[in-house]
Every structure is written in structure tokens, then in C-alpha cells.
Structure 1
Amino acid sequence: MSIERFLNNSVTSWMAGEGEHADIVMSTRIRLARNLTGYRFPLSFTENEALQVDQAISAVLLDAEAELESTFSYIDIKELSALNRQVLVEKHLISPKLAHSEVAGSVLLSDDEAVSVMVNEEDHIRIQCIFPGMQLNEAWRQANHIDDVLEKELPYAFDEQFGYLTSCPTNTGTGLRASVMMHLPALTMTKQMDRIVTAITRLGMVVRGIYGEGSEALGNVYQVSNQTTLGKSEEDILTDLQSITEQIIQKEREARAALLHTRPNVLEDRLYRSLGVLTYARLLSTEEAGRCLSDVRLGIDLGLIKGVDVSILNECMVFMQPGFLQKYAGTSLQPEERDVFRAKLFRERLQVDNNLDNEGEEPHDV
């Protein structure tokens, strides 16, 4: 499949707005870190070693498409422009680490974009499966199957005492990072998130922003994942994350009910004002777009706002980002130009601008 399909299409499978607890859990991700014996880790190996590792891993995966019941596209990261790399990061298809790689690296993407296998990121192999809603066990089964297929043909770096060996000690052991991406506007509005983050950290979990480590919780979207992988089985990690996620879901539902009960008019006014901004604004910053998207999504989930598809809002979370905006515009954009273009895309995507655009332009096909 052409790389342009992955770059131009803002829709990906995890944005479907489906799955258990989909009103709060936007997606579930399983990531497995693996390395091959006989090669140094990516942090210190040579370009020649990187090429050999890349060729070995991609050959096995592409040959196993029938067994995996999925078709993969091979994408050489070094052949991509900086903008195209950023777009793949914004779609959660590659990590920022791989996007900035200076040695031979690649990503193998399934046609539905639910699976991405990153080669020569921080480790030789990063298997990633993303499902919509709360589907930890389903995502784990798929990632584990891919891992089994690769391990049959490739010599993994494994130690009987320490488990799978990785570049970062916090990944050693199972090499498993499980995470759920959650929309938690009510807990944020009621100022409970700091307390919840502290409690989660004490339980061996970590809370990050929408794009993982070092990112902010744009649009009240948080990622909750396990902190370490050594000393616990995969089943224990998944069970613990499932339990903690269910508790957070319950807290968020309680906070939403409290907002509806104590300040219904104030809440409804805020949510509809945000819908008005998204449908009529001529300038939209990333931060304002994220906040308004969060409000509208909450309004839909509470049954207050009708006629807007949640999957469109998930899609908007991607194409409001700087890289995708410039890719879609076909040119580089200065910050204010991005704010203008972002506002125009939102109006078109929410289908309220067909007759209101003063310039009379045809709406884009997002």
C-alpha cells in the first residue's frame, strides 16, 4: 500500500469510537519491546548493523502475512521527510523516538493501521497494537501472536533470570507496555486528577499525555500504563491495568453525574459554547481546539449534544495537529496560518461551512 494512503488519511481503526467503555476509553494499546542476539542495541550500533537488523525483521514479517492474516506495508523512515514523519507520530503509528532516528529504521504497518512494528527504535523491535475502546485482552492476543511468529524465526535476546533484554531497564522482563487512552474531562474539571495521578503512581502505573512520555494531556486525554515490566507476568500487568482503569472509569462517571446534578445549566452552556467555537471560529489554536473537542465529546456522551459522530471528534484530534495540517494544506504554515486552516477544517468536517465560507471555496475532502 502507498505511503501516501497512511499520510493523507486521518481516519484509523482505533478512532472508531467502539469497544467497551468507549465513552471514556478512546483506545487500548499493547507494545512489546524485543532485541536480537548478536547485535548491539540501537543506542550504540553501527549503520551496517542497523541495516542487517532491519532486513532480517522485515523479511520475516512480510513472509508471514498469510499466517498473521494481515497485509503489511514497509516504510523506510530515512526516506520520509521530517513533515511526513511527524504525521505518522500524530497518528500514533510511530514513536517520536523513531521519527528522529539517524540510523536505518522502518515501520511495517497493517492496512487497517491497527498494527505497527517499529524497527530500530529504542529497541530492535517494537510491536504495537491499538484497538478502539477498552480491549486489553484482544490487543494482547494480537501482539502476542505477532511476537510468536517473529520469535520462531529470529534469535531474541533473552535471559532466564531477567527475561527479555532491552535498552531501557524499565522495559526488561516481559517487555510489555500496556496502556489505555482515556478522556477524563469531569475529573479534570472537578480538580481530582492530581490526587488520582498520585494514587496511580503508588500502584506502579504512570499517567502521561496523549502522545506518551513528555507530552501534555491535550483535550483532557490521558494515557495510563504500567511503569515497569520486570517481576510481573504479562497476565498480572494486564489484570492490574484493567482494575485501575475500571476504577478511574467509575470515578469519571461519578464526577460527570455530579456536574450534571449540581451545575446543569452551567455545564450545558459550556458544552454548547465549545460546539459554537468549533463550528464557527475563524481562528483555532491547538489548545483551544483540544479543549472544545473535549467539551463536545463530553456533551455527546452525556446525551446533551446530538447529531455529531464521536469518531469525527477522534479524527479531529489527529488532523488538528501541526504536522497533519501542513500535510493536508500541501505547504508549510506559520502558526497563525495553521490556526486559520485548523478552524476551516473543523467547520468543513462538522458540515456547517458549506454556505458560510466568505471565499466561496469548495470544502476539502477530509
Structure 2
Amino acid sequence: MNAIRLARTVTKCYSMRSYSMAPCEILELLEAGYQRLAESDSQSLLKKHLTKSIFDKLKTKVTPSYCSTLLDCIQSGLCNHDSAVGIYAPDPEAYKTFADIFDPIISDIHKGFGKANKHPASCYGYGADFPNLDPEQKYVVSTRVRCARSIQDFPFNPCLSEEDYRNLECMISKVLLTFCHEHSGKYLPLKGMDKEVQKKLIDNHYLFKEGDRFLQAANASRFWPTGRGIFMNRDRTFMVWVNEEDHIRVISMERGGDLGRAYERMIIGLESLAFSLKFSCDKRLGNLTFCPSNLGNTIRASVHIRLPHIGKDKAKLEELAGKHNLQVRGTSGEHSEAKDGVYDISNKRRMGLTEYQTIGEMHKGISALIEAECRESSKK
């Protein structure tokens, strides 16, 4: 069954979500999809960890409040055998109901964060503790810090109704429009947005876009563009995405290498939202998100940085970055090339450490890369 037909079938079942176990139609789809995955050459974490015994144990289960099934969790991975992970949480309860498959995948993604581990309470600290990485702007082109949040008492994308999307957008945008000083700005709903304005925002890497096949297969693009939008401050250094992959994505950007300033701006925006909105959290996993890769403190800090000398040996660059728990990508992200020696470097760890510790680790790692680049350039 292709992704479109599968999504339509699952969507049809949403209208009767009052069952205590997965209905026969869902079980048939699960059995067929699991068989194809088992016979495939997929390298996904889903295939690695979804043994037949775990599959049989989970296939009839549903989450208590939202009646989400195992199919809601794994349908993207069943449709896309080239997925790296292959699983999403359709609602906050899925992480416990389907813990037998989520826990080992979380441990793989977050490098050893197992059942015995507990994510620490939030601790933001101060952005001022992190001096500018590159005051002369010789190396760092730009800096970006983002985090994700989900609103309590709402499921995630696959289980949201059209009314849910509207209600979430209304709740979130109402709070955003109270922001003042550096954070004040405008909310632009995606529905009714001028196509040229939309294209320009996407081309400038401010706005998300529809069409991700992994999210579509996970039923995360329903009722598009209802309930989606972007909030931007006047300087376009602070943004909030509404109902893209998660309910909220808070983004702070800065030209050059002032990681501390970008982080501080994000903290203020996030805490302003938290004053009026309650977020979904778990005592062990931290902040709950649609994709298990974003659990914990949800922080992704990244820099675009010029590394023309140490970047010539990609293996050594990867090795050095790995020592500091950093991920190396091309200029335009994963699977892209580094244009003019500019790489996208981001933190790997976001579970088991606080927000402050994540930014501290990132700051130390980028400093090490700059020092290594300086040493190599002085040899030439």
C-alpha cells in the first residue's frame, strides 16, 4: 500500500476514535506493513528494534486518551524504508504506551539514554556567560538556536482535528502578540498568505514549507495550511513557527558568532510563552515532542562556520567535532556540500543535560574548531 492510500485509510479511522484496542482494519495494515519492512533492506532504527515479539505485544494497544495505535507511530517508517529513524509519537501518551519500541530507539538516538536515566529539570542560566565566539567574524557567518514545545492537553499532529489546529494557533498567536521590546512583531498565518511573500520567506530560510514525505506519511500535514503560521520580530532575529512539526518552534538568529546573545533571546521568548501556556513534559524524558530525536531540552544550536583548512580532511573534521559532541553538515544541511568551506555545525546532545549545559558544550566545541582552523591556516 502506498503512502497516500495508507494515510487516507488511517485518517478515515480517526472519526471513530473511541476504541479500547486497535480495530481490525488497522491490524491488517500493520501486519502487511511490518512484513514488507522485515523483508526490506531498510537501515532504520525502527527495523532494528521492532522485533516480531515486540510488534505482537504492541500491535493491539492504543493510548488511553487519544486512542493512537502502533500504526500512528510507525506508518512513516513503514512507507519510507529509507528513514533513518522511522517512528513518531502521535500524542504525549505514546511514549509510555509504546515504550517497548520507543525506549530502545531513544537510547540509540541519544547515545545511551536508557530506562534508568532521567532528564534533568530545565536550567537556562545566562547567555552572557558565553562570550562571542568570533568577534572579528573571520570564521562564524551566522548563529541559530532553536527549541521545540508542545501544548499540554493536545495531541501531536497526526491526531489534531481541524478545530484543534485553529485553537492552538489562536492560543499561541494571542500570547505572541503581547511580546514587547526586541521580541515584538507580527504573526503571519500561512492560510491566505500571499504566494510571493511565502516564497520569499522560504527562500530566505525563515519559513517552513509543506511537502516533507516523511511527515506526510506520518499524517502530520493534515488540513494544511490551517492553523500554521510564523511570528517574526521587527529585526527578523526572533521567530516562532506554529504547528509545523511541533506545536511551537522558537528560533533565535544572529549574524556572526554571538551564541550567547542568540541563546538569551531564545530564553526570553520561551519563558514569555511559558508564562501563559502549559507545555507537555515527562519526568523522565523531559519536554515531549513529535519526533523522539527532539526530546529532552529540545535545543538545537548551530553555526555556519568557515573551515576551509581543516575541512579539507572531512574525516578529521568529523573526528574533532565528535569529541565535542557536535554534528557536521554541509552548508544547506544534511546530505549537502560545504560551499566555499562553510559548514553547518550543531550540537548532538539534548537528553540528559540541561539547556545551559548543551549551549556550554556547543560553545566549547566551536571554540575548539576555530582554534584548529587557526593552527592549520598558520601553517600555510
The verdict on a shared fold, with TM-score over 0.5 as the criterion, is: yes
Which of 154, 157, 172 is the aligned partner of 1:57?
Answer: 172
For residues 204 and 192 of structure 2, the distance between their equivalents in structure 1, rounded to whole angstroms, comes to 18
Q: Which runs of 5+ in 2 are unaligned?
A: 1-132
- After superposition, the Cα gap between the structure-2 partners of 1:201 and 1:115, relative to the gap in structure 1 and judged at 3 Å, is same
Per-residue CA deviations over 1:53-105 (Å, capped at 9, x if unaligned) read 11110110102x23x54331211223346664343233231245699963421
SS in 2 for 1:79: coil
The Cα shift of 1:207 comes to: 1.4
Query: 1:165-218 CA distances to partner (integer Å, 9 max, x unpaired)?
Result: 011112111111111110222333xx2233212442354321122333444323
Task: Supply the distance in 1 between the matched residues of 2:379 and 2:199 (Cα, whole angstroms).
Answer: 39
Match of 1:79 among 173, 182, 192: 192
Shift in alpha-carbon separation, 1:210–1:46, aligned structure 2, 3 A = farther
Q: Structure 1 219/143 Cα, relative in aligned 2: closer, same or farther at 3 Å? A: same
Structure 1 residue corresponding to 2:327, chosen from 206, 211, 216: 206
Map of 2:276 onto structure 1: 153
1:257 pairs with 2:378: yes
Match runs of 1:82-231 below 5 Å: 84-96=197-209, 102-104=224-226, 105-188=228-311, 191-201=312-322, 203-231=324-352
Gap regions ≥5 residues in structure 1:
1-17, 260-366
1:133 shift after superposition:
1.6
Task: Give % identity.
Answer: 28
Q: TM-score, normalised by structure 2?
A: 0.58
On the 8 A contact 1:54/1:120 being kept in 2, the answer is yes
Instruction: Look up the equivalent residue of 1:126 and give its one-letter code.
Output: R
CA 1:86–1:186 in structure 2 vs 1: closer, same or farther (change >3 Å)?
farther
Q: Which residue of 1 aligns with 2:155?
A: 40
Cα–Cα, structure 1 residues 204 and 130, in superposed 2: closer, same or farther, change >3 Å? same
> After the TM superposition, which of the residue ranges 242-251 and 80-89 deviates more from structure 2?
80-89
Q: Closer, same or farther in 2 for the Cα pair 1:245/1:149, shift >3 Å?
A: same
| Structure number with higher helix proportion | 1
CA 1:75/1:219 → structure 2, altered by over 3 Å: closer, same or farther?
farther
For 2:174 and 2:261, how far apart are their aligned partners in 1?
A: 26
Distance 2:158 2:320 in 1: 33
Taking structure 1 as reference, are residues 187 and 87 closer, same or farther at Cα in structure 2, changes over 3 Å only? farther
1-structure distance, mates of 2:339, 2:161: 37
For 2:346, the aligned partner's letter is: S
Scaled by the length of structure 1, the TM-score of the pair is 0.60
Take 1:193 and 1:22, find their aligned partners in 2: how far apart are those partners?
23
237-246 or 219-228, larger mean C-alpha shift: 219-228
Contact 2:349 2:358 (C-alpha < 8 Å) held by counterparts:
no
Whether the 8 Å contact between 2:149 and 2:248 is mirrored in structure 1 is yes
Give the C-alpha shift of residue 149 in structure 1. Answer: 0.8
Contact 1:31 1:176 in 2 (8 A): yes
Are residues 143 and 216 of structure 1, via their aligned partners in 2, closer, same or farther at CA, if it must alter by over 3 Å? same
Give the SS at the match of 2:257.
coil
The code of the aligned residue for 2:338 comes to: A
Return the letter of the residue paired with 2:279.
Y
